[in-house]
Structure formats: structure tokens, C-alpha cells
Homo-oligomer: A and B are copies of this chain.
Amino acid sequence: MSYSEDRLEEGEVESLEAVVASSLSVRWLNLDGLHDVSILREIGERFDLHRLLLEDVISVGQRPKFEEYDGRLFVVLHMLSVDDVEAQIREEQVSMVLSGGKLLTFQERTGDVFEPVRRRLREASGRIRARGADYLMYALIDAVVDGYFGVLERLGNAAERLDGEIADDPTPDTARRLHALKREALVARRSIWPVRELASGLLRSESELITADTRIYLRDVYDHAVQAIDAAETLRELTTSLMDLYLSTVGQRTNEVMRVLTVIASLFIPLTFLAGLYGMNFQYMPELAFRWAYPVLLGVMGVLAVGMLQYFKRKGWL
């Protein structure tokens, strides 16, 4: 799929030559999937890309970065998406190469974060058509960065749910999911952090490929990246605090269980001893023959029990 300034041509690319030959001022070539090395090699030759650049495009798991290769701008980013059920993050590497009027983008899988940008391209009215390939690159980066907020919001909601669970009924599974959430927050942070550097690199770059006009928009990307980092950091601190809350809740519950046990055991063990005492079979136990011994003992037991309960009440255990 490729597009141009005042006309829009879109479709599956038949041959690279057609793209190179196109007379339209802005051409966008998007490649989904990185399996077919031969295509990549062909693209590399057609567009005269550095070998290291192509390697970075192919080797998934790159750190997001911005680089200049002899007059070309090269950007690597991670698109994040989150799977709602398990709140597990899926990273997808996106690479972009900008060279005068041409923008190449490489995606790991067929994604749809770029769909809104495509729609804006199709609607002839938008500003996006009137501008160069650098603005298109900005729009795509912005789309990726905007995606981070959605992901962080979902993780935030998962944290919210776990918060409620801890309040209602914390189970070992809650701790497990909390740990998983923290791991996801770490993954997200690792993808988002370098974007700030990337954006500031683009901003400070003296390449002529980026117009002053687009630079203003890139400042916006930078701001959003910083904001996403803030949100990721807050999320991380929140999960740590939630783990503390979980531990304190479990500790408190153990305390509560212990209190019930202690109250009941402390109440009945002495009484049971007294009962056991008069259950002994000694022949000479004068009390056994007393007429009022039984009711007196019951009274003593009652006093003892009431005293204990009072003590526990004063301790605040009841």
C-alpha cells in the first residue's frame, strides 16, 4: 500500500519498481511480517539501505531508537497491545525508514494501529495529505505512542480490580496476578522509556528531511512519551504499594484468626482442667461429697469465663 500527495493510490504492491517509479510526491510502503527475507533484501537494494539497518529491522527485540544512516532517518518502536483477560502485554516491533518523500514501515505482524492514519489519508480533506513524508512518519509514531495510553489504562484497570479483590477476599491467586501485573508494567516501561530519547533525538536532529513545521508536532510526541513514562512509573509504584497492602491484609487476617483461636482456647482450656480435676477417681477427695460443690464449681467457672472475656475485651480482641 502506497499513497501520494494529491492523489491517493492504495493497494498491494506488485513490484518494487512501480513504487520507485511512482511520480507522486509521498510514497508509503508498509510491509507486514518479516519472514520473507528475500523481499527485505530486495527492498534493501532498491532503496539502498545499510546492512545494519536491515538487520535491526529483522531482529525482533530491538530497543526503541532513532538513528541517521547517510541521510536516511531510521526509527525503531514497539507497538504495545494488551490482552484483556490475562492483562498480558504483546510487543510488536515497528521500524520506519524515511528518505526524501519515501517512508518505509516494517511490522512484525498485520497490526491495525495504523488504521486511523490510513483513514485520514483516504479522506482527502485532512491536513495529512497536504504534507510530506516526515509528517506521515510523525502521524505513525504518534499513533504508536497514543496506543501506550490505552495499554497503561488497561493495566491500571487491572490494578484497580486487584485493589478491590484485596479489600474483599485476598487469595494467593491475587498475589500471583499482582506479580504478573508488575511484570507487565516492567515490560511496558522497557518499551516506553526509550521513546523519550527517540523523540528528543528526532527533535534535535539536524536532518533536512524534517521540516520546521513537523518539528512542532514532534515536540508533541515527546510530551506524550514523557507522560506515558510518568504513567508507567506510577503504575509500578502502585503495584508495589498493592503488594504491601496485600501482605498487610494477610498479616491482619492471620492476626484475626489467631485472636479467635486464642479467645476460645484460653476460655475453655482452664475450665476443662477444672472439670478434669473433679473427674479424678481418688478415693479421698472430700469436695466430691459436698452438697454444694457442683453448683459452686459451676459458679467459679462462670466467674472465670466472664473475667477472661473482660480481659479480652479490654485488650480489644473481641
Contacts and interface: CB of A to CB of B under 8 A. Distances in A.
A99 interface: no
Contact of A272 (B167, B269, B282): B269
Nearest to A294: B282
Given A187-B234, A257-B262, A283-B288, 14 more contacts: A62-B227, A67-B219, A175-B249, A243-B248, A244-B247, A247-B247, A250-B251, A250-B255, A254-B254, A265-B265, A275-B279, A275-B280, A280-B294, A280-B297
A118 interface: no
A247 B255 CA distance: 11
Interface string A272-313: 110111111111110111111110010000000000000000
Given A176-B167, A279-B281, A260 B252 contact: no
A270 B187 CA distance: 52
B268 A234 contact: no
Contact of A281 (B244, B252, B253, B278): B278
Interface in A45-62: 50, 52, 56, 61-62
A244 B150 CA distance: 28
A123 to B, nearest CB: 16
In the complex, which of the residues A243, A273, A284 has the most CB atoms of chain B within 10 Å of its own CB atom?
A273
**Which size bracket describes the interface of A in this complex?**
35 or more
A193 to B, nearest CB: 8
B247 A52 contact: no
B258 A269 contact: no
Contact of A276 (B227, B279, B315): B279
Contacts of A216: 50, 52, 69
Interface stretch (A35-43, A85-93, A106-114, A178-186): A178-186
A6 interface: no
A169 interface: yes
A172 interface: yes
A190 B179 CA distance: 24
Contacts of A170: 252
Contacts of A72: none
A285 to B, nearest CB: 5
B246 A248 contact: yes
B275 A283 contact: no
